A = this chain, B = another copy of it.
Amino acid sequence: MKHLREELWFNTPHRRGYINITDRVEEAVRRSGVQNGLCLVNAMHITASVYVNDDEGGLIEDYDGWLEELAPHEPISRYRHNRTGEDNADAHLKRQIMGREVVVAITDGRLDLGPWEQIFYGEFDGRRRKRVLVKIVGG
């Protein structure tokens, strides 16, 4: 069984951000030499997501506003977690909606994605260095 492990690092300028990482994951698949297998892509931090959806600016704004409705950042005091001195409880909630990870099939040495499927890093507590794990296994 072949396998490859890579970390992708991010430092978003704002608290929240959405970055298309499909090409970077595809490069890792190429480097792995795996022809058929599975590619796990997961946030290694618990206030960020990896998800698959459309690379369309309006939709990304829709996600951002909707997540803020479902789990508002303020008032900070709304959340017990923030009594520890944090202000990011909302980010832990938002990340559960968008998910921690995606598993993508690898077929004939490439990511086996539908026509509009793009892999995104969703950051909900940024402005610091954080990372995503890519783990590829197969033959």
In the complex, chain B residues whose CB is within 8 Å of the CB of A95: 53
A138 B139 Cβ-Cβ under 8 A: no
From A57, which residue of chain B is reached at the shortest CB distance?
B80
Judged by a CB distance under 8 angstroms, whether A133 is at the interface is yes
Inter-chain contact A37/B114, CB cutoff 8 Å: no
CA distance A38 to B42 in the complex (A): 12
Identify A37's interface contact among B3, B84, B97, B103, CB under 8 A.
Answer: B3
Q: Which of B46, B52, B112 contacts A52 (CB 8 A)?
A: B46
* A105-B133 contact given A79-B58, A80-B58, CB 8 Å threshold: yes
Could you tell me the distance in whole angstroms from the C-beta of A62 to the nearest C-beta in chain B?
A: 5
Residue of B nearest to A131 (CB): B114
- The stretch among A8-16, A17-25, A63-71 that forms the contact with chain B is A63-71
> 19 A-B Cβ contacts within 8 A?
A1-B139, A5-B112, A38-B135, A40-B103, A42-B103, A44-B113, A45-B114, A45-B117, A46-B53, A46-B54, A46-B117, A51-B100, A53-B96, A59-B79, A62-B80, A105-B135, A107-B135, A112-B135, A137-B138
